[in-house]
A and B are shown apart, each in its own frame.
Chain A
Amino acid sequence: MSLLGLLSAGILPGSVTAQVEELPHVVEPTIVWVAIGYFAIVTVIGAWATRRTRTAGDFFVAGKGIGLIALSLSVMSATLSGFAFIGGPGLVYSIGLGAMFIILPAALTNAMGAWVLAKRLRLMAEVRNTITLPDAIGARYRSPLAQGLAGVSILVAVIGYMATNILALGLVIDAVFGIGVGWGIWLGMGITMAYAVGGGIVAGIYTDVFQGSLMAVASVLVFLFTLQAGGGLSGISETILAADPGFLGPWGHLTPIAALSFFFVFGMGSLGQPHVVHKFYMLRDPRKLRWYPLVTTFALIVAMLLYFGVGVSVKALTVDGALAPLANPDNATPIFLLNYTPLILAALVFSGVAAAIMSTVNSFMNIGAAAMMHDIPVSLGKRIDNELLWGRICTVIISVAAALLAQYSGMLVAFLGVFGWGLFASTLVPALAIGLNWKGATRAGAIASIGTGLSITLVFETFAFFELYSFPVGVTVSGLSLVLSILMFFGVSWVTRETAADTLDPDIRVVMEA
């Protein structure tokens, strides 16, 4: 299903992780050698990280020993998937400014995450040695059930997210090496899994630093080329306005409600993305959080320049007749790179796309393994003895399952990718983000909100995907499930308010009052 198909079905937000359609082949010696060099560097980092990973704490939270720059760049890398470089510019090309509402809240979200979650999670890791987000939910509400439900939600969404990202990685590797999508899936997954199994999140963090730097540099350079090709931003705007004024209207070709819905889901929903907020546990010195929003937001804005620049520039070039209209919007970036940038830059961007996808996949491997090996057993009253070994085994199981899904499930993989973001947002934002900041929240409220998010997302995304029922234009399942889970959280907590005191351990109260 194309991005436009998903959009018209009202289910796009969850699909923004990856494209599922084939990319044009760009097999050129320069691109191939840059990609080989990139994979070699990632492998070396993975080998180095493996030597540093000795405990479950190293494997899942980097031994709480990373610095500010590593945190910021790894958050930026994990936030951006291949969508930022391929699907996103294609979406801007298709629907104009409306597509910018997905990334528009970026100036707010990192500071919001810092105020709402970073300090609390880092302090909770200090007093309770929590290593996962469901751990924090379990500790906050003194509830193994809430921890288990959160773990199940994460595992379901992770496998879907991973499958779509691994498919996207296979498509990119096939485009670069011309080895076929099937081999691309297993090569990409194999490399990512190798460093994720050996070096756990330590490997993930430091490959993210490399990958994030690559993405930021490539994005700035490509943005400059887009301005040059389109005759500056004014030239681009004048060309587009003459042919399609709605494209540069404030909502693009979306309705106001649809565009604002993106802003809401991707703004508030950012607080529930486990592959991002989980990294708050890892900062060596919590006082370095002071500069985290500034550094991360700057890096994110820089890395997003390509998203906007390629989308509007390719639109202007097609309006001008310099390029033929695109049959598949996902081709906007590859076609622009091959026609308007030096080959070495195109090579860097293709490696950057692979980098973005691999860093996201790696984060998912880690949190998925933690949910499987730690959160779900703990919720059932069992604790696994050798968490490092089982963490590695679970990483392999999840990775192989996701790769098999990516290769053999056909359209199911697009469906699985649809609900990831929304499921994370609706199940984790109320119970985790608000719950860690409100002592009036209750266990029943948390469980009700997680259950609401899980059930609404799964039921209505399934209905929409199989065209049994779709919401009216502008209403997204992810937006509606997020708002309903928030209301359910407050409503049930209010009804059960007498139990609020019982769900709060004294040391957790100290963390919440800090």
Chain B
Amino acid sequence: MSDEAQSPQPAKPAGPDMHRWALGLIVASAIAIGLAYASAFLPGGTPGWAPWLFMIGTSVIMVATMAVGAARGGSIGRLWIPFSMVLVIVMGGFGLVLALPPADPGDPELWLGLPPRAAVIMYGIGFLPFFLVPVAYAWTFDDLTLGEGDLERVRDEALRARGEMPK
């Protein structure tokens, strides 16, 4: 992915440039989703691999978009932990649902009141990330999003960038 040739830049991360990686993943997952959609136009209907491709694409694009927004100077810091966990939960959940057999209506096994595959969807993908991403956002807010004094600094730097004197 082409990135910018600008200066001044914030310090480059010691590890891999997660911002650049995440942008690449957005493009790759958008292509995957596009291919899954395109497969529906094939004669004979949607092939069996298309839902797998779609679920990988949609899980990755959402997590990668979060990473692009969260990255500062190319790094997402310790946010790699919740982001990886969310990816495992969402992609693993969809994968589990695609792989598990349907419930037996004669002798239904229920997890917290729902058939297993429905429970994975509702509690796993729908509910579990609530305990991860909003909490991770709050947890890392000061050092990775907007610390004390950042607002003043941005205001002053923006004024200087426009050639005006900060108040």
Contact = CB atoms under 8 A, between A and B. Distances in A.
A239 B55 CA distance: 30
Contact of A250 (B6, B112, B118): B118
Contact of B138 (A294, A439, A472): A294
26 contacts: A97-B121, A100-B122, A106-B126, A111-B137, A112-B133, A115-B137, A116-B65, A233-B114, A241-B105, A241-B108, A248-B118, A268-B65, A290-B141, A294-B135, A438-B3, A439-B6, A472-B40, A475-B41, A479-B33, A480-B34, A483-B34, A487-B31, A490-B1, A501-B4, A505-B161, A513-B72
Interface of A: 97, 100, 103-108, 110-112, 114-117, 119-120, 123, 126-127, 232-234, 236-238, 241-242, 245, 248-250, 255-257, 260-261, 263-264, 267-268, 271, 286-287, 289-291, 293-294, 297-298, 301, 308, 433-434, 437-440, 471-475, 479-480, 483-484, 486-487, 490, 493-494, 497, 500-501, 504-507, 509-511, 513-514
Contacts of B68: 116, 434, 437-438
Contact of A480 (B37, B46, B94, B108): B37
Contacts of A474: 40, 46
B137 A290 contact: yes
> Which one of A106, A438, A473 has the greatest number of beta carbons of chain B within 10 Å?
A438
Nearest to B34: A483
Interface in B53-69: 54-55, 57-58, 61-62, 65-66, 68-69
Interface string B128-158: 1110011111100110011010110111011
Closest A-B pairs by Cβ, 7 of them: A233-B113, A116-B69, A506-B161, A115-B69, A293-B134, A256-B51, A507-B158
B125 interface: yes
Interface residues of B, number: 83
A213 B57 CA distance: 36
A510 B157 CA distance: 7
A68 to B, nearest CB: 12
Contacts of A106: 126
- Dominant secondary structure of chain B at its interface with chain A: helix
